[in-house]
Amino acid sequence: MSKFQIGKDISNKQTLALPIRQSTYRQIIFPCHLGIISIGNVSTSMLNKLRFHLDQAFDSFFFDIQFIEDTNLHPDMFELGVKEEYNLLNKSSEKVLLQPTNKFYEIIVDKKFEYNFDIGVGLTNLPIYSSSNENLLFLFGEAHIKYMCAIVSTHNLIDLFNPENHKLKKIERRIYKEVIHEIGHLILDCGHCLNDYCVMRFSKNIKEIDSKSIYLCEKCKLKLEKVRERNNF
């Protein structure tokens, strides 16, 4: 499940205040600097392949892609705003603690400032819910246009009840798709694509993620080219 927000100020409903920094609102000029920040326990073995797929999807849109590892939620922050819910997507009988997306945005915005990233994407193993719509639980990812950041959760990309789906390569491919999908929202400034095979299609479960490709469709590629033209590169 993925949620897209266009120019929506989610701070109204936030339990956490996002830091307001001048650089946060600056208009992005492409090519730009992308930062991928792992928050929690995320395998870093796939990062090189992720870089490859990002280059494939967005070509020369990033002059640099930097990975920041080992960022953990501060123990004081962990409990803040958490929701305890049953995970209906993988039929788990146990309740799990879900983290609000704005908690990650706060960390990512900080890292963006620290490392001078134009776009920041967080990768976490923790389950997440949308802080702008608390009914959206166990999201695969969410993008925030205003803050030019996104979060992808690997939690529900692992199908616990289907051993066939447990293969690492399959899980990694889902992660690549979801990261590309969220960055697609940020760069193209658009919603979901209706093309069944486009990576920008909305996926409500992992089966739908598996059935879509890792690529942008021709229509979405055209949008990407328009952004390129506007930025003269």
- Give per-residue burial for 162-184: e unless 16+ CB within 10 Å, then b: eeebeeeebbbbbbbbbbbbbbb
The answer to whether 28 and 161 have CB atoms below 8 angstroms apart is: no
Q: Is 123 an interacting residue with respect to Zn ion (CB under 5 A)?
A: no
Q: Which is nearer to Zn ion, 1 or 71 (CB)?
A: 1
Measure the CA–CA gap between 84 and 43, rounded to whole angstroms. Answer: 25
Q: Is 187 in the site for Zn ion (CB under 5 A)?
A: no
Member of 195, 210, 214, 227 binding Zn ion (CB under 5 A): 195
**Closest distance of CB 78 from Zn ion, Å:** 26
Q: What torsion, rounded to 10 degrees, do the Cα atoms 51, 56, 57, 59 define?
A: 100
**Is residue 79 annotated as part of the catalytic site, yes or no?**
no
Which residue is listed with tokens 């020369």?
60
Nearest to residue 97, comparing CAs of 73, 71, 132, 121?
73
Q: Which is nearer to Zn ion, 167 or 207 (by Cβ)? A: 207
Burial of 52 (0-12, 13-18, 19+ CB in 10 A): exposed
Give the bridge partners for 213, in sequence order: none
When binding is defined by CB under 5 A, the residue of 98, 193, 206, 224 that contacts Zn ion is: 193
- The residue among 157 and 217 lying less far from Zn ion, judged by its C-beta, is 217
In this complex, which beta carbon is closest to Zn ion, that of residue 127 or of residue 141?
141
Which of these segments, 22-30, 35-43, 82-90, 216-224, binds Zn ion (CB under 5 A)? Answer: 216-224
For Zn ion, what does the binding mask look like between residues 56 and 95, x meaning CB under 5 A? ----------------------------------------
List 10, 179, 217, 224, residue binding Zn ion (CB under 5 A) = 217
C-alpha–C-alpha distance, residues 88 and 82, integer Å: 17
Residues that bind Zn ion (CB under 5 A): 2, 4, 193, 195, 198, 200, 217, 220
Active site (catalytic) residues: 182
